[in-house]
Amino acid sequence: MIDRRIKFRHIQCFVEICREGSLKLAAERLFLTQPAISKTLKELEQILEADLLERSRAGVTLTPQGEVFLHFAEQSLAALQQGLAGVEQVGTAGKARIAVGALPSVAARLMPTVVAEMSKIAPDVEVHVVDGPHAFLVDRLRLGGLDLVIGRLGRPETMQGLSFTQLYEEKVEFIVRAGHPLLDAPDLSRIGEWQVIYPPQGSAIRPLVERLLIAHGVGNIPNRIETVSGAFGRVYTRRSDAIWIISAGVVANEIADGFLVPLPFETANTRGPVGLMRRPDEAISPQEQLFRMALKNVIGREKDYSD
């Protein structure tokens, strides 16, 4: 439990002394007298029952206990500053903006709820959503056109220079319209008898689909349409006997409504991580902090419902 005697002024003074390497310079930076900052440091050491700094004519040096405390004290100040910036951002009249790329499964299943949550938490932050294939979104992220991308973890060569934080896992489904003839006698080896909507080259799920089909002895599928367009896939699959190979999240709503049906094939081997991609060298902005909060809230609620 945090000792209630520790105040913000104790943390601020200690961190500033360490940064400046001198009580005198730290006092000047904080517009305090040297006796006042010295007293504050002494109070902190008494509360912690440990010496944090060693004083000498050359300045101050950290003790082992001081090194440990400094690490967490700096984190605390940084977190508080981000929180203050976030509150300030929410309360401003102008709209801040965050641009988020979403792969089709995320755009259909997750983003509508996340954006609704974001509008409650931060109504003055404008969320710009761009959907598309993995390669397109990742390129835009690298070039600075997007702040974040949410989607499947790509191949190692496509993830160079980006960080990835996993949110959940998702698998691929083989989707057909209700009443499709293959539902009567499901057989993965027969899918070539119908037109197939297939993931295009460069999509995150294509290598997984290819491995699955090879493992089940399915060769080349000549009668196929290659696209990641969720809008096209939903309409075309409902109006034809085509089989749509797509991430489960893209069609979660249509499956729940009964318009589309997953074929009962074992596709566990296509399960893969879906997560948050960003440029690791970029500082996290207040609007990104708020968006992450909205994302965490939504995923947390979905997990509660599924448990």
Span 192-219, pLDDT tens digits: 999 999 998 878 888 899 999 999 888 8
Mean pLDDT of the chain: 86
Nearest to 242 by CA among 179, 180, 153, 157: 180
Span 67-125, pLDDT tens digits: 898 888 887 877 776 666 566 555 544 568 899 999 888 888 889 999 999 999 888 89
pTM to 2 decimal places = 0.60
Alpha-carbon 229 to chain mean position = 22
The fold of 172-270 is D-Maltodextrin-Binding Protein; domain 2 (3.40.190)
The fold of 96-170+273-306 is D-Maltodextrin-Binding Protein; domain 2 (3.40.190)
Per-residue pLDDT, 124: 85
Per-residue pLDDT, 305: 36
pLDDT at 303 over 70: no
Per-residue pLDDT, 88: 57
Per-residue pLDDT, 91: 54
- CA atoms of 120 and 265, how far apart (whole Å): 40
Span 13-56, pLDDT tens digits: 898 898 888 888 888 878 888 899 999 999 999 999 999 998 88
Spell out the domain ranges in the chain. 8-91, 96-170+273-306, 172-270
Span 231-279, pLDDT tens digits: 899 999 999 999 999 998 889 889 999 999 999 999 998 998 999 999 9
The fold of 8-91 is Arc Repressor Mutant, subunit A (1.10.10)
Answer yes or no: same fold for 96-170+273-306 and 172-270.
yes
- CA atoms of 272 and 62, how far apart (whole Å): 46
Q: What SS3 string covers 9-48? A: HHHHHHHHHHHHCCHHHHHHHCCCCHHHHHHHHHHHHHHH
> Average pLDDT of 148-170?
87
Per-residue pLDDT, 171: 92
pLDDT at 11 over 80: yes
